[in-house]
Structure 1
């Protein structure tokens, strides 16, 4: 029996046939090892190497006789040529067949991506010339309960070198690594995933179980409805609705008919529901701090001509602490009109208009649902956070900033990749169920992404005592500030010492963000003017972003390899912004899907042009979604609201600093009083 196999058997606690237990011969163990998959063989190699090999005496790497060198760069070049993959861990191994591979040495790439690893060819084994292989690793971390960091490394790729290399030098040359690449086919900062390919990350195992648990009860319902529709026996909307769990609005209507269709409920959901958004003052009522406006400009985008999606201009007023709609102006196209900027007829509705008023509110509610799905949810949370995730994974390795941000950036690219075909794209649900075409959706998303910037952001102040969403946002924002200030106080010295990674992170963000977008109306009304009606705190700086040619939407944190005055504070603001949208903001928009979009006739993504137009009662099913779209809508709303894994307070992966958990737990009662169970807030976007 070879010495190597004797050591393996001993390390595994097994006995050979020469022992009394008579269990394994060397060839049997060799077959067992060769039958393992690559991941298992690597685990054996890494875990047993120190016990299989005779202990090495401590050696000065400079005295080792051989050296392997090279340079790692991203697969795609930048404007100035190859882009260095800095600070990746690299290991040099001797490949063996049937026996564990031999570790030869390790190192790190420098700022230019270059590496040099000294090694002893004799470590490949007696009489064996090394078959060289280079392996690359990215850092991972967990936090102990006391806040100390535990670092580990995850293999991300490898490069084969020569077999039976007998020389003392080998240059791997420039090695291109396809690692967190940007998609060149879009103006947005999206991850490149080739057809039939997979993103360079994976969901936590528990997420799959959470999805199955949430969706399994309703999957059969949807499939049955879809089969009936294909057979020409589509169930009625009432039957479809009844087959799903009772929604919030359906329950409220059963208990108190008309309650969810009232003016008061309409205003309350604009403040505190899934639709929660910035409430500007009414620019036509200067000085009146009780008058508000919500404007949704849909005529700027291509539409399918089958659904009706007018411009929606809602005027609201605070009355005894309640936000009530007082006027709705709809800019209606003609049926069948598809081109952006088509002629519109403006119609104004007030509560005195009876049935027409109720129809106008429904149209506004549907419009707000589409706006929140594309804006507050998909655009401002999912795609917005993705651009920070890509830049962070490409650049943050030695900088402690990675420990702060990465727990909130994991998995977002995975769920966004699914959304490419599931929600948007030529066959996505939003494309099929709303008036916007694929081109219209893409243009809307481009405009939205062109309006998001971390710089100057702070949650808007509450507009009234009952504005629970804004109050909860302010509280969450304050706690994030405390958490981030403490983190920077603890790690600030090292963070500044590794500032060149921050600079590269910032450069990637700016270079790949969308062009800043400021619509014609805002250009005329806000930049350079006194516009007290316009809430600036949640918006980018229009004075800076309205310049021509349009600057990039995302502002730079730094442009130097050492922090300049004010840049550390700027970085804190960026971190606060990213974590806020990956946690609180996404939870509020996503978790209320079933509450606000769980009844087809109450709210959907699009109303059709019916025989009598679209301004008709809910009894007119010609304008409502078709049965197959209705069941899909309810399935999606339930799935999004009920699939939850990766809660901050659960911290399943132990990657969130315990300080943030303690802060949130300490204020759980305050959040609860504002309608937020902080236990339902996820640490990242994965649904």
Structure 2
């Protein structure tokens, strides 16, 4: 062993005199842990032959003993146990006080069954094996030339009998709590038991990125909250000044009024974190320059303390700029909480002076909440989570795993954190906005009911200055080239493993929420010409408006062999998922500090003040409380500044290098549209 270690250290570049001194175990552990992944793999490959005696290759059928069993999910399906297919299983002999002995391995079949032949003598002379089954899921990296390197990650084990002297053992049905659905929510969410941990983990660098982003502002927030608890709350001016300067504050310092102008309001609806689908104005169907943005908040339970009216914004394209021309607010009475409460509609135009500015502020607040719940939390985080759960449960041998998994790897972790941090009875959105917990849950379910991969494509730009839409369409085109090339490269194996796609599709459809089409759209769109309605980013309302409503997510396939058009459908699904896990999330998330970094400019909720909610920014009765204000700024900074796992950096080497180079080749085109492509992450982890 000493000679082997010396040779190994010499082969790794150590001088001869250095290799003559053996490292202590603690020193060896520190040295090894400081190496990167390729170096650790190189050491493992070189050392394995010296620490494990070579074993002659034997025909498995000649081995005298057999272990068998079946793997199944912890939770049953409608027809009983759900098989865990295509996982690697290893059989080991447990040895107390010494290294365990490897006995053999196999893979579960389509029904979760496995058989492992082994030789009991491999447990060692005079030792009857203490059986243990170890279970592994596949992982991958890409080499620079695009070739895949597979590895295995241990995900569970099952103890068998001690001192097993027989030649046969049946483990029976082994239940594995693996990527289970949460039965307590209508959304497709991962089930994590109390005090439990999700079946995945963050990359190590992500924690460092979080610490780096939060450390400068953590003490600021804690000081503000302590002052509040002591009955000496800081002013909103002081709170704002204690944080880094956001874009709107800088604009006001350089040019007062610029961030509150009509032109800037329209520009942020096109290109800010608020970037939204711009429908044509249905009341002016022949006017190509008239647009509408509508947010229906009266449909949800509210707390009666904050004012959140229905917001109907009419806009007009004038000389290349989108300008608001009328804002209609459906105002409840103060204190009204029930969904569908009576409302009074009030209309405002630029001629209304201070009242117009107050209406614009209310519309900004509405857009901020709609972005956080819709564009960001629902459409990116929770939407991608449902694909992540179904993919992890089903995709193992199908190459689509290599395409999707890099973009699905951490979303369930950050979403699990959001369960109490942002939503739920004490979540920040519940406390800082007008929506109650039931209101938030209802809104999220309606939003999730409106998302489907089928037919999606980014909407066309409404003008030359619509940078978001131009960038989205460029990214979508490049993503399509990447997906097409991947499918061409792996077409035969994708089709050969189509059963995994069928099970993936079944999980998606079964666990998605019912499709949601509101009464207004039901009356105006399905089966009728509606040229004002942008369909490309919406689900097919003609298909989804049936009673009872179908599931929101469409099926890719229902058979174990691909039918005509289904390969293209799978391509579309992959393109859709990657788009929202990368580009769309980056645009909504990374601009938070620019658009939600000033409390008086945009927040999640305005309160009913002594003179109502439609007052000036100087009226602090309607502004957020100091505790909510500092939390808002802390969250906005943390979300937009915590970045790790960039597409172009490809830190884990799990994204196909072709996609990385394709995006890098178009970096200048993205930069011209205001997007640094280096800031787009490969997955949602913040």
TM-score over 0.5 for the alignment? Answer: yes
Task: Please show how residues 631-670 of structure 1 align to structure 2 within 5 Å.
Answer: 631-670=630-669
Q: Summarize the alignment of residues 350-389 of structure 1 with structure 2, pairs less than 5 Å apart.
A: 350-389=349-388
Matches of 1:468 and 1:204, distance apart in 2: 32
Matched, 1:323 2:331: no
Any conservation in 2 of the 1:45–1:102 contact (CA below 8 Å)? no
For residues 503-514 of structure 1, the aligned pairs below 5 Å read 503-514=502-513
Partner of 2:478: 479
Q: What is the CA–CA distance in structure 2 between the aligned matches of 1:10 and 1:285, rounded to whole Å? A: 82
What is the distance in 2 between the residues matched to 1:487 and 1:154? 25
How far apart in 2 are the matches of 1:23 and 1:659?
Answer: 44
Pairwise CA distance, 1:47:
9.0
Q: CA deviation at 1:286?
A: 1.2
**What's the offset of the Cα at 1:50?**
4.5
Q: How far apart, in 2, do the equivalents of 1:329 and 1:557 lie?
A: 41
Q: Which residue of 1 aligns with 2:179?
A: 180
Alpha-carbon shift at residue 54 of structure 1 (Å): 3.2
Name the TM-score, length of structure 2 as normaliser: 0.94
Separation in 2 of the partners of 1:294 and 1:111?
49
RMSD: 2.2
Q: Displacement of 1:52 after TM fit?
A: 3.8
Give the distance between the partners of 1:471 and 1:22, measured in 2 at CA: 62
- Give the 3 Å change call, closer, same or farther, for CA 364–141 of structure 1 in structure 2: same
**CA contact under 8 A between 1:7 and 1:51: conserved in structure 2?**
no
How big is the shift at 1:195?
1.1
Q: Residue 166 of structure 2 corresponds to which residue in structure 1?
A: 167
Per the alignment, residue 105 of structure 1 pairs with 104
SS at match of 1:153: strand
Aligned position for 2:234: 235
**1:157 matched residue in structure 2:** 156
Partner of 1:615: 614
Residues 428 and 22 of structure 1: CA distance in aligned 2, closer, same or farther (over 3 Å): closer
Q: Which residue number in structure 1 is paired with residue 212 of structure 2?
A: 213
Aligned to 1:460: 459
Counterparts of 2:46 and 2:137, CA distance in 1: 18
Shift of 1:51: 3.1
C-alpha distance in structure 2 between counterparts of 1:7 and 1:384, whole Å: 56
Tell me which residue corresponds to 1:334. Answer: 333
How does 1:541-552 map onto structure 2 within 5 Å? 541-552=540-551
SS of the aligned residue for 1:651 comes to: coil
**Distance of 1:332 and 1:642 partners within structure 2:** 36
Write the deviation string for residues 112-169 of structure 1: whole angstroms up to 9, x where unpaired.
Answer: 0000000000000000000000000000000000000000000000000000000000
| Aligned-pair CA distance for 1:287 | 1.1
Contact 1:91/1:136, CA 8 A, preserved across alignment? yes
Contact 2:647 2:660 in 1 (8 A): yes
Quote the residue 1:295 is aligned against: 294
Q: Secondary structure at the match of 2:383?
A: helix
Give the CA deviation at 1:603. Answer: 0.3
Whole-angstrom distance in 2 between the partners of 1:22 and 1:207: 37
**What is the aligned partner in structure 2 of residue 95 from structure 1?**
94
| 2:563 aligned residue | 564
Identify the residue that residue 394 of structure 2 maps to in structure 1: 395
Q: Deviations over 1:510-535 (max 9, x none)?
A: 00001100000000000000000000
**Structure 1 CA distance for aligned equivalents of residues 49 and 668 of structure 2:** 51
CA distance in 2, matches of 1:348, 1:250: 29
What is aligned with 2:32?
A: none
How does 1:106-125 map onto structure 2 within 5 Å?
Answer: 106-125=105-124
Aligned length: 666
Structure 2 distance, partners of 1:6, 1:60, is: 33
Contact 2:8 2:46 in 1 (8 A): no
1:401/1:495 contact within 8 Å kept: yes
Q: Which runs of 5+ in 2 are unaligned?
A: 10-19, 30-40
1:21-36 correspondence to structure 2 within 5 Å: none
What SS class does the counterpart of residue 298 from structure 2 fall into? helix
Residues 65/293 of structure 1: CA separation in 2 closer, same or farther (3 Å cut) = same
**Cα distance change, pair 337–320 in 1 and its aligned pair in 2 (3 A):** same
Q: Cα–Cα, structure 1 residues 6 and 172, in superposed 2: closer, same or farther, change >3 Å? A: farther
Structure 1 segments (4+ residues) deviating >6 Å:
5-13, 21-24, 43-49
Q: How do residues 183-198 of structure 1 correspond to structure 2 at under 5 angstroms?
A: 183-198=182-197
- Residues 542-570 of structure 1: per-residue CA shift (max 9 Å, x gap): 01111011100000000000000000000
The answer to whether the Cα contact below 8 Å between 1:404 and 1:657 also exists between their aligned partners in 2 is: yes
**Distance of 1:128 and 1:7 partners within structure 2:** 29
1:379-438: per-residue Cα shift (whole Å, max 9, x none)?
A: 000000000000000000000000000000010000000000000000000000000000
Q: Aligned equivalents of 1:200 and 1:7: distance in 2?
A: 41
Deviations 1:468-501 (A, max 9, x none): 0000000000000000000001001101100000
* Contact 1:45–1:101, Cα closer than 8 Å, also in 2: no
Residue 529 of structure 1 aligns with which residue?
528
Check 1:49–1:466 CA distance in 2 against 1; reply closer, same or farther (3 A cut): closer
Residues 389 and 409, structure 1, Cα contact 8 Å, conserved in 2 = yes
Per-residue deviation, residues 151-199 of structure 1 (Å, max 9, x unmatched): 0000000000000000000000000000000000011000000111111
Which residue does 2:307 correspond to in 1?
A: 308
Q: How does 1:269-288 map to 2 (within 5 A)?
A: 269-288=268-287
How far apart are 1:57 and its partner, in Å?
1.4
Query: What is the CA deviation profile of residues 291-325 of structure 1, one whole-angstrom value per residue up to 9, with x for unaligned ones?
Result: 00000000000000000000000000001111000
Tell me how far apart the structure 2 counterparts of residues 6 and 146 of structure 1 sit (CA, whole Å): 37
CA contact under 8 A between 2:459 and 2:536: conserved in structure 1? yes
> Which secondary structure state, in structure 2, belongs to the residue aligned with residue 588 of structure 1?
helix
Distance in structure 2 (CA, Å) of the matches to 1:409 and 1:531: 36
Judging changes above 3 Å, is the alpha-carbon distance between structure 1 residues 299 and 126 closer, same or farther for their aligned structure 2 residues?
same
CA distance in 2, matches of 1:572, 1:49: 41
Tell me, what secondary structure is at the counterpart of 2:137? strand
Matched residue SS, 2:72: strand
- Check whether the contact 2:221–2:630 (CA below 8 A) recurs between aligned residues: yes
User: Which string of whole-angstrom CA distances, capped at 9 and with x for unpartnered residues, describes residues 189-236 of structure 1?
Assistant: 000001111110000000000001111000010000000000001000
Structure 1 residues 190 and 604: alpha-carbon distance in aligned structure 2, compared to 1, 3 A threshold: same
